[in-house]
Amino acid sequence: MLDGLVKSRVDSKKPRKEGLTCTIDRLQSVDRENFAILAPFVDIVKIYGAFPLLAPEDGLKKKIRFYHDFGVKVSTGSTITEFAIVENSLERFAKEAARVGFDVVEIGESSIDLQMEKKKRITDAIRAAGLEFHWKVGKKDPRHQLDIDAMLKKVGEAVRLGSKKVVIEANEGVNVGIYDEKGAVRWSTVGALTNEYPPSTFIFEAPLESQQSALIAEFGQRVNLAEVHQDAIASVESQRRGFLAKSAFGVSYIRKDPEGGPAPKFIYYLIKASKNPVEQGELMSMSHLPRRTVQAAIDDLKRQGLIIERNSLEDARKKVYQPVHSDWL
């Protein structure tokens, strides 16, 4: 319908490497006719939590075959994998997951902490079973969140282990991972992650439609999203193709204007106008503002999640600043 008016997908054929949409199955019934329409937009379905342990094996196999018929991969959740690790049954679990038809095993450390040697044994067992794996980074409990240095360390370990994608934990989408206590995106955290690794490295869990809208607005159609409820799949695909969903209106995206006094606004304008990361001394020279005022403005902009601070490549003793916006590499 209206051919040629809708933006084409960058990576239109599955299996896609970017622009993934991952949804969840809580063992609910799925209408075959409706899913046939949505299936081209879905890359992975995750069988939620420990539900695979509760479902009769024949029923689980039938559900997995249903998704395979539409060219959709099926993943375990990290909860069941953590349970298998704690019970020292990971190898058996991987073999059973492969036998019933799973394609991907999601591995997390929400309630456990694993050393690198142990992680390698886990991934070797999953590969030996003929399965892919996605490592998940983050804690479900809002009271026990990782700081950005710990997140980056675990992302680095996952990448070295060969995880095709690194999933960023969101749980219910509030006060966990890249989201604050109101469910808004912490752009400073996203910026720190995507400053170290290409955005295509990550699958961002985004349970709320406002989060999906914000991430698509920032990264474009190639952003990888998970925890998309099945009734939101069409909305996510529409936004990937350039249409705003209802949830997009009123969402504060990364390119919002800075709040506060004139100094942060002026410094932000100078940082955005610069083609390269800019040092504090350069900002002082361009703005003719004193060091204390420039430093206070920088701290304010970092708190608002509008700029990234990192070490200068030319002089590790100096810090440079750039707007929080990551192009796809």
Q: Which residue has the tokens 């506060």?
A: 260
| pLDDT computed for residue 175 by the predictor | 94
Decide if 329 contacts 219 (C-beta within 8 A).
no
Average pLDDT in the 4-28 region? 83
Quickly state the pLDDT bin for 22 (edges 50, 70, 90): very high
Per-residue pLDDT tens over the stretch 173-182: 999 999 999 8
Average pLDDT, the chain: 88
Dihedral sign from CA coordinates of 46, 48, 49, 51: negative
Q: 63: burial class by Cβ within 10 Å (0-12, 13-18, 19+)?
A: buried
Helical spans, DSSP H, in the chain: 32-38, 51-54, 57-69, 78-86, 90-100, 116-128, 148-161, 187-196, 209-219, 233-240, 262-273, 280-287, 291-303
| pLDDT computed for residue 328 by the predictor | 45
| pLDDT computed for residue 329 by the predictor | 35
Radius of gyration of the CA atoms of the chain, in A = 21
Using alpha carbons, select from 91, 54, 71 the residue that is nearest to residue 12: 71
Instruction: Answer yes or no: is pLDDT of 91 > 80.
Output: yes
Domains in the chain, please, with CATH? 21-248 (3.20.20.70), 262-323 (1.10.10.10)
Per-residue pLDDT tens over the stretch 259-279: 788 999 999 989 988 878 899
Quickly state the pLDDT bin for 3 (edges 50, 70, 90): low
| pLDDT computed for residue 5 by the predictor | 55
Per-residue pLDDT tens over the stretch 139-158: 999 999 999 999 999 999 99
Can you tell me the distance from the alpha carbon of 296 to that of 163, in angstroms, rounded to the nearest whole number? 40
CB atoms within 10 A of CB 251: 18
Half-sphere exposure of residue 320: CA atoms within 13 angstroms, side-chain side = 14
| pLDDT computed for residue 246 by the predictor | 56
- Would residue 306 be called left, alpha or beta, if left means φ above 0 and alpha means ψ between -120 and 50 degrees? alpha
Q: Which of 84-93, 227-236, 241-250 bottoms out in mean pLDDT, i.e. has the lowest? A: 241-250
| pLDDT computed for residue 242 by the predictor | 80
Q: How far is CA 99 from the centre of its chain?
A: 29
Can you tell me the distance from the alpha carbon of 211 to that of 208, in angstroms, rounded to the nearest whole number? 5
* First and final C-alpha spacing in the chain: 33
Quickly state the pLDDT bin for 301 (edges 50, 70, 90): confident
Q: 296: burial class by Cβ within 10 Å (0-12, 13-18, 19+)?
A: middle
List the structure tokens of 282. 């350069």
Three-class SS state of 179: strand
Percent of the chain residues topping a pLDDT of 90: 62
List the structure tokens of 309. 């601070």
